[in-house]
Amino acid sequence: MANKRILVIGGSAAGPKAASKARRMDEHADITIIQKSADLSMASCGYPYYIGGFFDNRDMLLCSPAGVVRDSNFFLNAKNIKAKVQTEVLSIDRVHKTIHVKDLKTGQEEDLPYDTLILTTGAIPTRPPVEGLDLDGITTLQCIEDADYLRKIRDEKKVTKAVVIGGGLIGIETCEALQLAGIQTSIVEMMPQFLAFLDWEIAKLVENLVRSKGVDVHTENGLAAFMGEGGKLTGIKLKDGSEIPCQLAVLAIGVKPNNKLAKEAGLEIGATGGIAVDHYMQTSDPDIYAAGDCIEIDHLLTGQKVHAPYGDLANLQGRVAGENAVMGNTVTFSGTTQTGICKIFDYAAGTTGLTEKSARKNGFKDIVTVVNASADKPGFMNGKLLVTKLVADRVTGKILGAQCVGPGDVSKQVAIWAMAIMGRLTVTDMVNADLPYAPPFSLALDHSIATAHLMQNKIKGRLKGIDVAELKAKLDSDKPPFLLDVRGEDEFEAMRLGVGELLIPLGALRKRLAEVDQDKEREIVCYCKISLRGYEAALVLEANGWTNVRVLEGGLMAWLYPREK
């Protein structure tokens, strides 16, 4: 029997993974990767850190764990995989099972036959339909050439002002990189918040941090046009008419699946624009698999198809496609909970499962949310803040999603909740989770467990929470609640809302109940730094006859509006 011919179109993440897995499944297959760009296996998620100067050696973006650059020679020698770089695929002929390619260096074209084809054509950055898009100084951060361009700008130190268009993952990471490079950076987001994978009040905490680092932030304000002189970018105009002068603009308003070849070949394309595949990563043509940013996949909680362009999923899907291309359909990739994380200066922000917003949008009706703020470790081990918003189903108690931000160990928190969702765990399961505890790594009650405790108290009706947005609206209304801060006097001196709240330290509350509004039906909101004491205060008030007591969730650490101090 002749050796199986496997062609892989795309050489970034999913493609090389699929090719390598196919090789491990079949030493004798003919495996070829076709890559339009000159480089292969680029660690594209690392671009912002290269630009930001976290490391200087560009080769590190292209290296195997052993430090060898993964070029065509590497693939040929270590894996016996041919990699044709700087080669563009022009079309797929499904009837004759060939692809038509063009060598971009020589201009020569040829047909390559396949038994099985794997499409890993990735995604392409969305470009807004505005004037001036071709001015010099406008880029995306999609390919390694973009990273080279931005790194050069960093090293040359000529650009002084930059604008990042889009406050998603890539936008935020690029914004940090440019600001760290000493470039005064503005960031423009059309929606009311950054990072759509967070709920508004959590995203605002990130926005506040970004502002505090000197970044000029514009939300609810879209790009109207690029402005230039002599072919060079000089600034941007926003939808509200204002202008921001700049010599550099980075477009990061999202990506869409690169489905061109697949579409032209008549493969089924999903509603998201992603190539339709089953759990085997097989397209509507049984001889063609697809993986990575060019496909759409199942959301494991909603059952909806989603486009989830994440590097980790691309690798997992590539592995499945590579094995099935050789072995027939034996392994599956079932879908995503859209788990993600990004670094933002000294914060991280992560998410898994559904936000409150996305849960409601997807028809989950009886959901309950809670916000918890606490340190990740004890104070004596330099614990750092974490703020988590947890979303659960009120009836079943099932965990639907969690978002976490802060300078603390966000990565572990998000991993814990991602695993909880994967195991279909409930709040009741999580309240007694057996997690690794020692002071260098966590509190005795890990932040995730404490969050589950709050959620349990909320579901049982013991904790009547109010979120910062609702409280702010009430404070701005003509019927503001009675605000009770129960921290210590020194804490109050150092930091406070200053909106007319009363301070009664928790330790004095039982003796000073007379100072609280004696209208037992008046709405009272208790809080402290993180609302642990606030919760205890609320229970004291309720036991003494107050009937409308609520606790500010996350306390002052979740307060995203200006404070008196």
Residues of span 369-408 touching a second copy by CB under 8 A: 374-375, 378-381
Identify the CA nearest to 173 among candidates 15, 327, 54. Answer: 54
Identify the residue among 80, 108, 126, 396 touching a second copy (CB under 8 A).
Answer: 80
Please tell me whether residue 38 binds a second copy under the rule CB under 8 A: no
From the list 99-107, 146-154, 242-250, 423-431, the region that binds a second copy by CB under 8 A is 423-431
Q: Give the whole-angstrom CA distance, residue 441 versus residue 152.
A: 39
Please tell me whether residue 532 binds a second copy under the rule CB under 8 A: yes
Two tokens, residue 500: 């007319």
Identify the residue among 32, 339, 358, 372 touching a second copy (CB under 8 A).
Answer: 339
Which residues within the stretch 266-295 sit at the binding site for a second copy (CB under 8 A)? Answer: none
Which residues within the stretch 483-522 sit at the binding site for a second copy (CB under 8 A)? Answer: 487-488, 491, 506-508, 510
Please tell me whether residue 27 binds a second copy under the rule CB under 8 A: yes
Which residues within the stretch 3-22 sit at the binding site for a second copy (CB under 8 A)? Answer: 13
Compute the least distance from the CB of residue 436 to a second copy, in Å: 4
Beta-bridge mates of residue 498: none
Contact 400, 369 (CB under 8 A): no
Please tell me whether residue 324 binds a second copy under the rule CB under 8 A: no
Q: Could you report how far apart the first and last alpha carbons of the chain are, in Å?
A: 78
From the list 179-187, 227-235, 493-501, 529-537, the region that binds a second copy by CB under 8 A is 529-537
Identify the residue among 118, 528, 549, 557 touching a second copy (CB under 8 A).
Answer: 528
Identify the residue among 19, 205, 431, 468 touching a second copy (CB under 8 A).
Answer: 431
- Measured from the CB atom, the residue of 224 and 539 that comes closer to a second copy is 539
Burial class (CB in 10 A: 0-12, 13-18, 19+), 263: middle
Compute the least distance from the CB of residue 283 to a second copy, in Å: 19
From the list 188-196, 240-248, 310-318, 477-485, the region that binds a second copy by CB under 8 A is 310-318
DSSP codes joined into one string, 270-281:
-TTSSEE--TT-
Compute the least distance from the CB of residue 165 to a second copy, in Å: 21
Identify the CA nearest to 463 among candidates 355, 354, 536, 391. Answer: 536
Handedness of CA 378, 379, 384, 387 (dihedral sign): positive
Compute the least distance from the CB of residue 417 to a second copy, in Å: 9
Two tokens, residue 94: 């499904």
- Measured from the CB atom, the residue of 97 and 412 that comes closer to a second copy is 412
Two tokens, residue 474: 């009430």
Bridging pattern class, strands 109-113 and 98-103? antiparallel
SS (H, E, C) 537-564: HHHHHHHCCCCCEEEECCHHHHCCCCCC
Q: Give the whole-angstrom CA distance, residue 123 versus residue 284.
A: 20
From the list 4-12, 121-129, 465-473, 526-534, the region that binds a second copy by CB under 8 A is 526-534
Which residues within the stretch 212-251 sit at the binding site for a second copy (CB under 8 A)? Answer: none
Compute the least distance from the CB of residue 68 to a second copy, in Å: 7
Q: Give the whole-angstrom CA distance, residue 252 versus residue 250.
A: 6
Please tell me whether residue 111 binds a second copy under the rule CB under 8 A: no
Q: Give the whole-angstrom CA distance, residue 4 versus residue 208.
A: 56
The DSSP output letter for 144 is: H
- Measured from the CB atom, the residue of 227 and 435 that comes closer to a second copy is 435
Please tell me whether residue 545 binds a second copy under the rule CB under 8 A: no
Compute the least distance from the CB of residue 94 to a second copy, in Å: 28
From the list 30-38, 260-268, 386-394, 439-447, the region that binds a second copy by CB under 8 A is 439-447
| Count of beta carbons in the 10 Å neighbourhood of residue 428 | 14
Helix (H, G, I), strand (E, B) or coil at 502: strand
Helices (H), 213-302: 260-264
Please tell me whether residue 303 binds a second copy under the rule CB under 8 A: no
Please tell me whether residue 445 binds a second copy under the rule CB under 8 A: yes
**How far, rounded to the nearest angstrom, does the alpha carbon of residue 158 sit from its chain's CA centroid?**
31
Identify the residue among 411, 473, 476, 494 touching a second copy (CB under 8 A).
Answer: 411
Identify the residue among 124, 190, 300, 367 touching a second copy (CB under 8 A).
Answer: 300
Compute the least distance from the CB of residue 385 to a second copy, in Å: 11
Beta-bridge mates of residue 140: 251
Please tell me whether residue 197 binds a second copy under the rule CB under 8 A: no
**Residue with tokens 């009664």, as numbered in its chain:** 504
SS (H, E, C) 341-376: EEEECCEEEEEEECCHHHHHHCCCCCEEEEEEEEEC
Which residues within the stretch 86-105 sit at the binding site for a second copy (CB under 8 A)? Answer: none
Contact 316, 334 (CB under 8 A): no
Identify the residue among 33, 61, 321, 524 touching a second copy (CB under 8 A).
Answer: 61
- Measured from the CB atom, the residue of 24 and 260 that comes closer to a second copy is 24
Identify the residue among 2, 156, 230, 432 touching a second copy (CB under 8 A).
Answer: 432
Identify the CA nearest to 251 among candidates 143, 102, 368, 90. Answer: 143
Identify the residue among 132, 235, 340, 481 touching a second copy (CB under 8 A).
Answer: 340
